[in-house]
């Protein structure tokens, strides 16, 4: 696989946000716990910019990758937990998952972290909306700067979790209406899951949806179900985790175009 065009694109399009890191040829060369992203949700959904902005095989050269985003062409979902990819697609009307690094993402957000710090999750935090409201205070309590993009995980059991996987009728989605129609919805109940997500108040339509500060994916403990989280109800005992080294040098790989 020839990755030179991707590497050249990343080099010429890099910008630093709020940090002191220097530009690099490698999209994986970010500080431990920092957040990087490539492509934009708004451009993919509204403008049909759905080509691969980064490839999993490039990012996974470094261990402990955590990431979420849609497949190139918006033909499915990518979830990476500790370097292990789960590719969610719809085939002949059925939900499928597979593990492969041979994919590109239409837009993508990621971090690297070998260690994660658990943070108390009060009983009042049960839903995705509750979690989004709680994340800034939880981050500050963990010594993190909630004004910059943050990675987080949630491990535990859900009473219910609603999600979608993209499955367009064609390889491009030129309109927002087509994008909404391409979402195939489903749910799981009473399952143990691992979620990875990214939080920012400044990146709606970039790496979070246009209506939310959170972009999160999940994988069930048996790996059979995975996708983009729409809503959930947590069971007692779920745990919130942050990277132990979360740097402020968060970076877009391509917003300097």
Averaged confidence pLDDT in the chain? 86
Q: Where are any strands of DSSP class E within the chain?
A: 15-16, 36-38, 54-55, 65-70, 77-81, 84-91, 94-98, 104-105, 108-112, 116-119, 150-166, 183-199, 214-220, 226-234, 239-243, 251-252
Q: What percentage of the chain carries pLDDT values higher than 90?
A: 75
pTM of the model: 0.86
Q: How far apart are CA 223 and CA 2, in angstroms?
A: 30
Q: Say if strands 108-112 and 104-105 run parallel, antiparallel, or are unpaired.
A: unpaired
Strand order in the sheet with 84-91: 15-16, 251-252, 36-38, 108-112, 65-70, 77-81, 84-91, 94-98
pLDDT tens profile 15-35: 333 222 323 347 778 999 999
Q: How far apart are CA 32 and CA 159, in angstroms?
A: 33
Name all domains of the chain by residue range, CATH numbers in brackets.
4-113 (3.30.1330), 116-243 (3.30.1330.80)
* Higher per-residue confidence, 169 vs 249: 169
Q: Say if strands 36-38 and 251-252 run parallel, antiparallel, or are unpaired.
A: parallel
pLDDT tens profile 55-89: 999 999 999 999 999 999 999 999 999 999 999 99
Nearest to 97, CA basis, from 193, 195, 227, 229 = 227
* Higher per-residue confidence, 158 vs 251: 158
Q: How far apart are CA 166 and CA 156, in angstroms?
A: 25
Is residue 120 within 8 Å of residue 102, measured between CB atoms? Answer: no
């Amino acid at each position: 696989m020839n990755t030179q065009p991707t590497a050249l694109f990343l080099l010429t399009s890099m910008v630093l946000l709020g940090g002191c890191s220097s530009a690099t040829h490698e999209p994986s060369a970010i500080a431990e716990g920092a957040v990087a992203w490539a492509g934009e949700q708004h451009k993919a959904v509204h403008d049909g910019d759905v080509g691969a902005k980064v490839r999993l095989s490039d990012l996974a050269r470094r261990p402990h990758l955590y990431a979420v985003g849609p497949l190139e062409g918006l033909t499915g979902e990518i979830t990476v937990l500790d370097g292990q990819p789960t590719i969610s697609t719809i085939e002949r009307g059925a939900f499928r998952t597979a593990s492969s690094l041979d994919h590109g993402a239409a837009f993508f957000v990621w971090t690297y972290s070998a260690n994660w710090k658990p943070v108390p999750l009060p009983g009042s935090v049960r839903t995705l909306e509750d979690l989004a409201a709680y994340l800034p205070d939880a981050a500050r309590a963990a010594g993190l700067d909630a004004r910059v993009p943050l990675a987080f995980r949630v491990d535990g059991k859900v009473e219910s979790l609603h999600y979608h996987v993209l499955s367009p009728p064609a390889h491009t989605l030129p309109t927002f209406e087509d994008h909404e129609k391409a979402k195939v919805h489903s749910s799981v109940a009473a399952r143990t899951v691992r979620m990875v997500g990214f939080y920012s108040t400044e990146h709606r339509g970039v790496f979070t949806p246009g209506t939310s500060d959170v972009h999160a994916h999940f994988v069930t403990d048996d790996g059979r179900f995975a996708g983009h989280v729409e809503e959930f109800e947590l069971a007692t005992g779920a745990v919130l985790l942050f990277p132990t080294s979360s740097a402020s040098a968060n970076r877009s790989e391509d917003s300097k175009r």
